[in-house]
Amino acid sequence: MATIEEILQVEAIETDIYRGPAFRSHLQRTFGGQVAGQALMSATRTVDDDFAVHSLHGYFLRPGNPDLPAVFLVDRIRDGRSFTTRRVTGIQQGEAIFTMSASFHVRTDHGIEHQDRMPPAPSPDDLPDQMNELSDEAKAVFKEWQEFDLRLVPREQMPTSNYFAAQQRVWFRHRRRLPDDQVFHVGTLAYMSDMTLLGSSKVPHPGVEPQAASLDHAMWFMRPFRADEWLLYDQTSPSADAGRALTQGRIFDLDGRMVAAVTQEGLSRTGRDMPADQHARREQ
């Protein structure tokens, strides 16, 4: 299977035009985190090193074909003193499959500081590796992400609030040491952030198997981090209705620093057949 270094290594084929490689896959559609990560890396390649991405907003327009590369067209919307904006469109076979707006902020700004406290969770070292907990069918699909260590916090070990409709917490990290470049860790987290988040919407509905797919995805990056060190993904699903589920996540490092936040809306439609790869992903 492809490494995250290979996945995020977009190729410049013309000014502001990049190609994201395709790799052998067990999935029927390209993993959303791969598309978002490649789009973000394409945008980053057009921005001065004095700026770092602080937010992205993406829409999944069509299912990607995992057997084909994607081409990413970058529009330079604005280059300012403090903020830079890029718009990226991912294309396969002449059709847009993904669009993203990304904003970059100069690294030297200072201001007020505060954050929510990290919620309680058992140490990831005390939890089982999710790859060892999956069925054989699911393991075949999850070979896509075998480089990532995911550990689900059991419900009985997770303090919850009656004010939230659905809650889930997951520890995750890349298994290998990654390059030190913070840009690469941001791209890796954009890839990782699509893992398990939509699953938080299924917590109140045991036994229900909705058709699931990411519809849109937004991220905010607050503090530097390493994607090869443990990160706690604190997830909630405030609402689900009309075949769509809203999910949110806050990401903390082991020191309790909030490093990123995520909001995603996904398809949660019932009454239709689910592709085989989604059956396997449901177990995660």
* Of the candidates 233, 228, 201, 235, the residue with the CA atom closest to the CA atom of residue 215: 201
Check whether residue 9 and residue 150 sit in a common domain: no
Indicate the pLDDT class of residue 27, thresholds 50, 70 and 90: confident
**How does pLDDT run across 170-222, given as a tens digit for each residue?**
999 999 999 999 999 999 999 999 999 999 999 999 999 889 899 999 999 99
Check whether residue 97 and residue 168 sit in a common domain: no
Check whether residue 220 and residue 84 sit in a common domain: no
**How does pLDDT run across 96-154, given as a tens digit for each residue?**
999 999 999 999 999 999 999 999 999 999 999 888 876 666 665 567 788 999 999 99
Residue-level pLDDT at 280: 41
CATH at 2: 3.10.129.10
Query: Which residues form the domain of 181?
Result: 127-284
Check whether residue 76 and residue 167 sit in a common domain: no
* Residue among 92, 130, 264, 268 flagged as catalytic: 264
Task: Answer with the one of 108, 140, 164 that is the final residue of a domain.
Answer: 108
* Of the candidates 63, 69, 42, 64, the residue with the CA atom closest to the CA atom of residue 53: 42
Active site residue 241: no
Measure the CA–CA gap between 282 and 284, rounded to whole angstroms: 5
In a domain, 224, yes or no: yes
Active site residue 194: yes
Check whether residue 167 and residue 217 sit in a common domain: yes
Active site residue 42: no
**How does pLDDT run across 64-110, given as a tens digit for each residue?**
999 999 999 999 999 999 999 999 999 999 999 999 999 999 999 99
* Residue among 25, 214, 268, 278 flagged as catalytic: 214
* Residue among 149, 194, 234, 253 flagged as catalytic: 194
Report whether 171 contacts 229 (CB < 8 A): no
Whether residue 279 has pLDDT greater than 70: no
> Model-level pTM?
0.91
Q: How many domains does the chain have?
A: 2
Residue-level pLDDT at 141: 58
Report whether 195 contacts 141 (CB < 8 A): no
